[in-house]
Structure 1
Amino acid sequence: MTLLTVRAAAGASRGILATDTGEWPCALGRGGLTDAKREGDGATPIGRFPLRRLFYRPDREPPPATALPTLPLAENLGWCDDPRASADYNRLVRLPFAPGHERMWRDDGLYDLVVELGYNDAPPVPGLGSAIFLHLARPDWGPTEGCVAMARDDLLAVLAGAGASSEIDVARR
C-alpha cells in the first residue's frame, strides 16, 4: 500500500504531500484544514481516505502510469454537490443534471488529472462535504475549494506509485 501524507505548510492553503519516494508542495482548501468539514466551507478535511479512482481528460492527457482504477472523463460527467439531492450527493452524475453539481470536464485544466478520494462516500451524509479530490494545481498555486492539488509532474510521480490500496492521510502537522 502507498500512503500519501499531507501536512500543512506555510500559510493556511499550502501543504506538503509526502510518500516513501519523495515530498512535493501542494495546495489545500481556502478554508485551511478542518476536522468538521461542511459543504461549501472551502476547507480540506482532516483524516485518512482511500484513493478510489483516477479520471483523466483523454483529449489532453494519455492514460497515466498507475495501478489505480482509471477512467477517461467525458463532457457529460459531473459531480453532485447538492445536499438536497441525497441519493446522488457526493456521487458522479451524468449531465444534464438538475440538482447542484460541478462539471468534471473543465476548461481550466484542473481536472485533466483528478483522483476521487474516499471522503464522505460510504455512504455520503448530505452536508458533510463533497467532491474532495486530488487534482492539478492552479498555475499561481491558489487555494482549492477543499481538495489537495499538485503540479502535473509531481502528481504523475505520485500516481506512478499508487494502487487500489493507496490512501491519503491529511493531518495538521
Structure 2
Amino acid sequence: MNDIVVTSDGFLKHGGLQFRCALGKGGVKPEADKREGDGATPLGRYVLRQIYYRADRMAAPQTRLPVQALTPQDGWCDDPADPAYNRHVLLPYAASHEKLWRDDHVYDVIVVLGHNDDPPVPGMGSAIFLHLARPDYSSTEGCVALALSDLLALLAVLPTNAAMQIISAD
C-alpha cells in the first residue's frame, strides 16, 4: 500500500515526500465521531476522488487523477437534511452549501476525499478536502491543507487509485 499518510501533528508523507500541513480547528477524531460543523479532521482512510482547480488562476495540475476546472456556479451541499448532502451542486442552490469559487486562494486546488460519500450519512460530515493552506497554516474546518507547491508536487506523483490515511501521531 502506497497511501498518503497524514499525522495528527500536522505532517503529510508520501514516498520520499514530507510536507507540513494544516488540519481542522477541532483536532482529529475517529470517523465514527465526526459530525457536521465540528471542525475536526476525521481519522481514517479515504480515496482521492476528484480534483477541482481555478483555471483563471493556474494551469491544470499535472496528475493521473480526474481533474475539472471550477466555475463560479460550483458548490458543495453541507445541509444534512438535503438529498444532495456531501455532494457537488450547482449554484444557486436552495439548501445550505459551500461556494467552491472563493476570493481567497485556499480552493484554487481542491482534492475531494472519499469521506462519508458512499453513501453520505446525514450529519456525519461533508466537504472534507485536501486543499491549499493559508500562509500561516491556520486551522481548517476539518480538511487537510498544503502549500501550493507541495500539493502540486504530491499530485504529480500519485497513482490513479491514490488514498489518504489520516492517523494519530501518538
Structure 1, unmatched stretches of 5+, are 10-14
Structure 2, unmatched stretches of 5+, are none
Secondary structure of 2:21's match? strand
CA-CA distance at 1:88 after TM superposition: 0.1
CA-CA distance at 1:162 after TM superposition: 1.6
Q: What TM-score results when the alignment is normalised by the length of structure 2?
A: 0.96
Question: Does the 8 Å contact 1:52/1:164 carry over to 2?
Answer: no
Structure 1 residue 4 and structure 2 residue 1: aligned? no
Aligned partners of 2:24 and 2:159: how far apart in 1? 25
The corresponding residue for 1:17 is 12
Question: Does the 8 Å contact 1:2/1:162 carry over to 2?
Answer: no
CA-CA distance at 1:21 after TM superposition: 2.4
Aligned partners of 1:21 and 1:57: how far apart in 2? 28
The corresponding residue for 2:84 is 88
Question: Does the 8 Å contact 1:2/1:165 carry over to 2?
Answer: no
Structure 1 residue 123 and structure 2 residue 125: aligned? no
The corresponding residue for 2:165 is 169
Displaced runs of 4 or more, over 6 A: none
CA-CA distance at 1:43 after TM superposition: 0.2
Aligned partners of 1:39 and 1:63: how far apart in 2? 30
The corresponding residue for 1:139 is 135
Structure 1 residue 48 and structure 2 residue 45: aligned? yes
Distance change >3 Å, CA 77–CA 7, structure 1 → 2 = same
Structure 1 residue 32 and structure 2 residue 22: aligned? no
Q: What TM-score results when the alignment is normalised by the length of structure 1?
A: 0.95
What is the root-mean-square deviation in Å for CA atoms of aligned residues? Answer: 0.9
1:27 partner amino acid: A
Amino-acid identity (%):
53
Q: Count how many residue pairs are aligned between Structure 1 and Structure 2.
A: 167
CA-CA distance at 1:2 after TM superposition: 4.3
